[in-house]
Amino acid sequence: MNEAEKQINYPQIYLAIDNCFAYKRWTRPREWCALISGLGLKYIEAGADNELDPLFMGEEYLADWVEEVKRAEEDSGVRVASLYSGHGTYTTLGLTHTDPRVRRRLIDKWFKPMADAACGLGAGLGFFAHGFPHRVLQESALYRDSVELLKEGLVEINRYAASGKCRFLGIEQMYSPHQYPWTISQTRDLIGAVTKKSGAPFYFTEDVGHHRLVFQKPDLSALPSGAGIKHKPWLGSDRAFALAEAGRTAELEEEIRRIPHLFSQPQDNDCYAWLSELGAYSPVIHLQQTNGHASDHLPFTAEHNGGGIIDGGKVLRALKASYEKAPARDMPPRCGKIYLTLEVFAGTAAVMHNFLSDIRESVSWWRRWIPRDGVRLDELVREIRQ
């Protein structure tokens, strides 16, 4: 370790798993805690889809659920490190809904009870619970207004979570223009702004499979023209597609300059760039094997690793690089603990015996790089070199 590294407060690293694979199968805390312990893991992200969503379950149930989890943790030796939103809130406009009554209901009846549950367990809370409707994408001003509306809701939620001593609150980054934040610069701006305005640290979740090449600026010199071309590359707005159909290239170029919020940069499509730039502000990192073109939430098995782009050593090295950068202004404190969390989905028709075998293989694969939970990041990276 050189002198510069000695001055850096590297985080402790833990291997965890989201219990979303267990929904409608192992639904009681004592069941999924025991099951996950048997898979060789001690840290869990409890997903709202597994009998946890306040809008379905109610606050009295949720209070009882917290106590049941505590008993299950004691019996099994595992710990719930974070709670996370599921498909229910993901499918709505949520915090940026066009009707303020819906936004208010989501904050009061979903976010606050979930934050209370997380606080009761000494856990963090992560989520994605909004979307921008199509018309908002068409105008930069409307897009900015929606971003400000989102920030307003997040500031209120972050203050509430901090007041109850929630370990952390963080939003998941996504990969399309209607799901802000979906670029590195947007994410940096969002977590910095919410931290500053709320007076409490606000974080994000990096998902290594949430990156797409689809939404980069097009090469107009290679753009097919004319109404006879059925599929075109991403052009941004409806007006841009209409101009392309009409072959009005000069106006198309001007339209694309008008809508920069709808295009990504090359680094936005690389999970290792995200980890290097912002990994220090991601207390949860969702792990899935991917070929870089789809977010299929595949396990880390020999079958999928052969064509996958996610490598444990590269993840840790990129994450370490983020701590070697000078801390940015107006950002939250860098994370002292980071949970690398397997987020592998089981299909409705999955043969669960086989699925659990894949999870065991995935855990074994990741234990090559994280052989022990709670080890400092720099120590793990040094072990890779040996």
Helix, coil or strand: residue 32:
helix
**Domain count across the chain:** 2
Q: Which domain holds residue 163?
A: 3-213+278-385
Q: Write out the H or E segment, with its range, that includes residue 285.
A: strand 284-287
**pLDDT tens readout for residues 7-49:** 899 999 999 999 999 999 999 999 999 999 999 999 999 999 9
* Residue 305 near residue 366 (C-beta atoms within 8 A): no
Would you say residue 268 lies in a domain? Answer: no
Q: Kindly state whether residue 205 falls inside one of the protein's structural domains.
A: yes
Same domain as 369, residue 239: no
Q: Is residue 272 part of a domain?
A: no
- Residue 4 — very low, low, confident or very high, per pLDDT cuts 50/70/90? low
Cα separations (Å) of 104 from 108, 110, 143, 157, 194?
6, 10, 21, 11, 18
Q: Do residue 167 and residue 33 come from a single domain? A: yes
Whether 35 and 147 map to the same domain: the answer is yes
206 and 221 assigned to the same domain: no
pLDDT beyond 90 at 385: no
State residue 227's pLDDT score. 53
Residue 65 domain-assigned?
yes
193 plus 142 within the same structural domain: yes
Task: Spell out the residues 6+ positions from residue 192 whose beta carbon is closer than 8 angstroms to its own.
Answer: 328, 329, 330, 331, 332
Same structural domain, 236 and 127 = no
* Three-state SS at 84: strand
Whether residue 269 is contained in a domain is answered as no
Question: Which residues on neighbouring strands pair with residue 105, listed in sequence order?
Answer: none
Cis peptide before 181 (omega within 30 of 0): yes
Shared domain check, 225 and 207: no
Q: Which amino acid is at 327?
A: P
Percent of the chain at pLDDT exceeding 90 = 91
Per-chain mean pLDDT for the chain: 95
Q: What CATH number is given to the structural domain containing 365?
A: 3.20.20.150
CA distance 182 to 285: 15
Residue 229 sits in the same domain as residue 209: no
pLDDT tens figures, 189-234: 999 999 999 999 999 999 999 998 899 999 988 887 655 566 789 9
Q: How far apart are CA 253 and CA 250, in angstroms?
A: 5
Q: Are 145 and 247 members of one domain?
A: no
The mean pLDDT value for 132-152 works out to 97
Q: How many CB atoms are closer than 10 A to CB 89? A: 21
Same domain for 233 and 206, yes or no, is: no
The answer, yes or no, to whether residue 3 has pLDDT greater than 90, is: no
Q: In this structure, is residue 270 part of a structural domain?
A: no
Residue 45: inside a domain, yes or no?
Answer: yes
Structural tokens at position 197: 């305005």
User: Does residue 173 lie in a domain region?
Assistant: yes
Rounded CA separation 117/110 (Å): 11
Does residue 278 contact residue 206 with C-beta atoms inside 8 Å?
Answer: yes
17 and 115 share one domain: yes
Q: Are residues 120 and 207 in the same domain?
A: yes
